[in-house]
Each structure stands twice: as structure tokens, then as C-alpha cells.
Chain A
Amino acid sequence: MNIFLLCGLVCFSALAITMHNLLKSAICLGVASIFLAVLFFRMGAPYAGVFEVSIVAGLITVLFITTIVLTKREGGVKERKLTNIFFLLFFIIFIMIDFFVMKGFIGNLPNMPVGSPNLAENNNFSKVLWQYRTLDLVGQICAIFAGVFSVLALFRADKKENNNE
């Protein structure tokens, strides 16, 4: 079952870059995220799955579509015609290389000792996030601040114009 989800994920990602219509490729990207989210649920990472659906498939797709609409669809860009053919060609070559490299690794992978995991599987998620990765939460706050202030800085010019009008 997982293998179909993985294939669906890669197919939709490939579609997202081969589509000529930007709106369609943004939606393909959203669909690919949903595949990834289902995969996360099946791998036992439900919270990551929820974030993937709500933020990546939801918020990021909305942001993309807003930008595409604001910039009048294509913005007058024609991609090179050969790009898609090249993409297929290189992609098939890459998949073959990928397959053989991975096949070469089967059986040759080192056996990892189960070192000293800080937290066992049965610990609940909120404890891990709040007590083991607290510094990352501070980092998240910093990142959100940085994003907000950058966007404010980039859009400050039109504010001034509006005030003048």
C-alpha cells in the first residue's frame, strides 16, 4: 500500500513541474502533499500528517494561488518546449540509477546498534515536543517573526504611497 502512495507522491510532484498552467501545478503540489500526509499517518506520525495537510496542502497552496492570481496567471513566461522531454529523459535515467544504487545497498547496510535513544516510542508526542525539543519551539517563534517582518519590509513601499494618496 505504501508503495502506491509513494508512487502517487512522485507522479504528482512530476506533474507539478511539467504542467504549463501554474494554477494546475500549484494544485498538483497540494495533491502530492495529501499523499505524503496519508503516508505519514500510516508510518505512525499523525501530527506531522496533520501539519502536512493543514499547512502545506492548505496554507501553502492558498499562498501560491494568491500570488498566481496577483501576478495575472503566467506573467507572460513561455517555458522552453524541450524542457518536458528533457525532464522525462533525465528522470527515467535517474530512476534507473536510483534503483541500482539502492539495490546495491540491500544487504550491505550496516546493522545499527540501538544506541541510547533519549525517549522511547511510548512517550507521548507533546512531551517530546515540549520537553525534548523546546529550543526548536523558540526557533519557530524566531522564524515566524523573521517571516512576518520580512514581508512587512517588502510591502512597506505601497503603504507609504497609499498614505500619500
Chain B
Amino acid sequence: MTNGEGELLFVFIVLPLVVAGIMPLIGKLSKKVVPDILTNLTTFFLLAYSIIVGKQIIFSGIYTTKFSWFGEPMNISLTLDGFSLLMLVTISIVSFCVTLFSIDYMEHYGHKANYYSLLLIMIAGMNGLVLSTDLFSIYVFLEVAAIASYGLVAYGLGHNELEASFKYLMLSAVASGFIVLGISIIFACTGSLTFSEVAIGIHLVNAKYLVGFCAALFLMGFGLKAALVPFHAWLPDAHPSAPAPISAMLSGVLIKVSGAYAIIRIFLNVFGLTYALSTVLMYLGLISIFVGAIIAIGQNDMKRMLAYSSISQIGYIFIGIGTGSPLGILGGLFHILNHAVFKSLLFLNSGAIEQATGTRELDKMGGLAKQMPLTATTNAIGSLSVAGIPPFNGFWSKLLIIIALVQTQHYAFAVLAVLGSVITLWYYLIIQRNAFFGKPEEIWKNVKEAPFWMSCATVILALLCIVIGVTFPFVIKTFLVPATDILASGVSYLYNFLGY
């Protein structure tokens, strides 16, 4: 464990916040170019910095930072361990590609500076959530990211956008309410909020029912944020209504950071994964896989289909984590990274198609492969990857999850997971066939390939799909094994943390 004096990790929260704060002033001076450059520099810096910091973590273990300001001791304690690092790198990759894509895509929405400010605050909120070490800070940063996302979902200001954003806000506010209620009961039981002290307090206190009740509240609250199936109603409205880069951000990282990360961190490290809890997570995951996949087949709107597919893929993450075996956790975490990469790629492609043709309806498209070869190729890579076809990254994470299911003797779950994957392949083939192949329609004769920066972002993500898929042993060894170690050691990880 390393203790830093400096503001090393604090940069991840403060830099996007400061840039977001000065963005409106810059927006007054220059409407487009300077906000574009500044935002992209910021996200690129965060990406580079997370990799530089990550290198230190991999060599020297967990990094915590506490610092003083002007001589006054201030208690800002942030911790970066393997799991947070994985999420941090995922957030940085997706946000960099999203800001790159926004340069061309957000032209017609206007007021780019305002858009970038909201996006950067969302990134700051997610970074804070991943780095924070106590329950209430998780809630605070979760809500910061959520408030920014309400504004972003409604950014188009059309009827559908407003409706989706309002529904999202209502359900999300109830979820946050449950989370804070759970936090207050935990505080009454243990008298503390930091992960390590709560973990010890829960095991000292003989209050099984109260703790179980808290677990149920957290599962409802964070499950709603992660769009697990009984609580998924907001996602298929909110994600398609947002502008495409924001859909990529929401589907790619926000549901995983504010839902999956929080659930995994709290249940595995703080509460400890009991048999009942792991069964609940696995069943919720299985139901999510099938409900998401089956509804997705019937959709005609491309972005709606992708949104339902997100629900289905979140199910894979939870089924992997729910097994509780190191291999299952590894698979689940690998799927978090992979899903972030290919789902944001697919959402960005849907944005490129929408901008070129003005429609999201699948049966109106057709034969776009000739006009938009680059988009067609990257979309094919993304689709094959999400369906789990061998050389691409999605295959390896699904394979790991299925092997883990077999190892822990959940044979039925393993068979159903494979079946879910086949359904996924089916509806992604529907997208490919309807949008890109088939006979070229007359009206799309003049459609042009997406502008340079948009293609640039999608190509980066598509290359990542292939690179992660080909070099998966390296990725697993450097990024995923440290994260898995922390989660698999369960509650004892936090005991060590305090020096017990």
C-alpha cells in the first residue's frame, strides 16, 4: 500500500470540474473550436494519466491519497485499487472517443460549450464514484452523474427527449432515496460510513435482519441504476432519446459505474457475498439476459434495439459476478470492459447513420454498405463482438463466464447463457442485414460517409475490439487479475486495509 502526499488522484475529479466551470466563459469567446479542443485535450489527458497512474498501481499495489491544503488538514481520502483502475480506464477510453465523436455530431444541436460542461461533470461524477471510499460519497457522486445525465438526455428538447428524461428522473430519484435510507440504517448499526469500518462493524454487530434489509434496499437502488430486469423500465426510453454520444456514454459506462460497480463493490467487499445474495444476483442476471434479448428482437428502432441489448449484456455481467468464483468474477469484469467498448461503438455508429440518413427505423434503411463502407465495417466488428464470435473481445469474456458457470456446477445457467448469446447474434444480424446489406434503396443514393472525427472515434473503438480480442491474455494479466484478486478476497481485503 502506498500513501501519497500529493493531489495525484484528486486530479481525476477536479480537472473535469474546473474545465466544465470555465467552459461557458470560453464558449462566449469562441463558439466551436476552442471548446472542442479543450474538451478533447482534457479527456485525452485523463486517459493518458489513468494509464500512467495505473502503471504504478500494477507495480506497487493499492494507492491511497490524503492531503492537506494550506496547512489545514483536510480529509479527502481517495483509493485506487485494481478494480477502480479498471473502471477508471474504461471511463477514460469511452469518454475520449465520445468527445472525439461529438466534434462533428453535436454541430446541429448548438450551444456546444454547455453540452461539454455537462459531459465533463458527468465524467467527474463517475471518476469520483469510482475513487471514493465511503458509502455516502458513492451516493453523492452517483447523484452528480445522474443530474448531469438528466440534462443530457433532454438535450434535444423534443417531446420524446423530455418525456424520457422526466421518467428517468422520477425512477432514479426513488432509487437514490432507497440508497440513502440503506446508508442511514447502516450508520445506525455501525456508526461509520467508510467501507472498511462498515465491513468490520457489520460482522461485529449481531443484526442479521437489519443488514439483510439494507442489502435489499441497496439491491433495489443500485439495481435500478444498473437497469436489472424488474427495474429496467427507464432505460429503453432514456438511452435512445439522448444524442448518440450520450447514449454511448450512458449505455457504455454510466449504468456500469453507478449500478454494477457500486453493487459489486458493496456486496463483495463490504457485505461479503453470501449464498442467498449470489443466488439472487444470478437469477436477476439470467432474467435480464432473456427479457432484454427477446424484446430486442421485436424492435424496429435501431437505438432502442441497442438499449434492450444493453439490459441483456448487463445480465451477463451479473451472472458472472454472482457465481462468486474467481473465474466468474474475472469474466464479469472483462465483460464490463468489453461491453463498454463495443456498445459505445454501436451507439456511435447508430448516430452516424442517423445523421447521414435522418432515420433510425431499420426497415427504411438498406444497402448503406456501399455509401458508408467504414461505418458498415466497424458496425460489423461491433456486432460480431457483442454476439461472441471468436477472434473478437466479446467471445473471451462470455467464454470465461460460461466456463465459470460450468465449474460451479450451474449447468442450466451455462446452457441458457449460450442460448442468450445465440439470440444476441440473431438480432445483430437483423441490424446488419437491414441497415447495410440488402438491395440499395434509391433514396440513399446521395448518402455520404460519416465526417472525419466521427469515423476516427468509431475506428479507434473497433480497433480496440480486435486488439483486446487478440491480446486477451495480456489484458487479463495486467488489468483484470489485480481487480479480480481484490474482489475475490472479499471482506478480508478491507480488513487488511486497516491493518487488522
Contact = CB atoms under 8 A, between A and B. Distances in A.
Bound together: yes
Interface of A: 110, 112-118, 130-136, 138-143, 145-147, 149-154, 156-157, 160
Nearest to A131: B75
A139 B205 contact: no
A135 B154 contact: no
Contact of B137 (A139, A145, A150): A139
Residue in A110, A114, A141, A153 whose Cβ sees the most chain B Cβ within 10 Å: A153
Contacts, number: 120
17 contacts: A110-B207, A112-B207, A113-B204, A114-B191, A115-B191, A115-B204, A116-B191, A135-B134, A136-B136, A139-B140, A139-B141, A150-B151, A152-B24, A153-B152, A156-B111, A157-B157, A160-B110
Nearest to A158: B157
A50 B200 CA distance: 34
B6 interface: no
Consensus secondary structure, chain B interface: helix
Interface string B53-77: 0000000000000000000111111
Given A115-B200, A115-B201, A156-B110, 8 more contacts: A112-B207, A114-B191, A135-B77, A139-B140, A142-B125, A150-B118, A151-B151, A154-B151
Contact of B189 (A112, A157, A160): A112
Give 4 nearest A-B pairs by CB, closest first: A150-B151, A139-B140, A146-B147, A142-B144
Contacts of A118: 192
A156 B141 contact: no
B21 A131 contact: no
Contacts of A132: 75
B124 interface: yes
Given A110-B205, A135-B137, A149 B143 contact: no
Interface of B: 13-14, 17, 20-21, 24, 72-78, 110-111, 114-115, 117-118, 121-122, 124-125, 128, 132, 134, 136-137, 140-141, 143-144, 147-148, 150-152, 154-155, 157, 188-192, 197, 200-201, 204-207, 210
B144 A143 contact: yes
B114 A146 contact: no
Consensus secondary structure, chain A interface: helix
Contacts of A139: 128, 137, 140-141, 144
Contacts of A160: 110
Contact of B132 (A116, A135, A150, A156): A135
A116 B196 CA distance: 12
B76 A153 contact: no
Given A116-B192, A142-B144, A154-B157, A149 B201 contact: no
B143 A143 contact: yes
A113 B110 CA distance: 58
Contact of B140 (A136, A150, A154, A157): A136
Residue in A131, A135, A136, A153 whose Cβ sees the most chain B Cβ within 10 Å: A135
A146 B189 contact: no
A2 B154 CA distance: 43
Contacts of B110: 156, 160
Contacts of A143: 140, 143-144, 147
B76 A113 contact: no
Contacts of B121: 142, 145-146, 149
B76 A145 contact: no
A105 B366 CA distance: 64
A140 B124 CA distance: 12
Contacts of A152: 24, 114
A153 B153 CA distance: 11
Nearest to A156: B111
Given A112-B205, A115-B197, A154-B157, A145 B74 contact: no
A146 B144 contact: yes
Nearest to B115: A153
A110 B206 contact: yes
A154 B157 CA distance: 7
B449 to A, nearest CB: 30
A113 B205 contact: yes
A151 B197 CA distance: 38
Contact of A135 (B76, B148, B191): B76
B205 A149 contact: no
A131 B20 CA distance: 26
A112 B17 CA distance: 40
Residue in B134, B147, B210 whose Cβ sees the most chain A Cβ within 10 Å: B147
A135 B114 CA distance: 25
Contact of A145 (B21, B115, B136): B21
Contact of A153 (B77, B124, B143, B151): B151
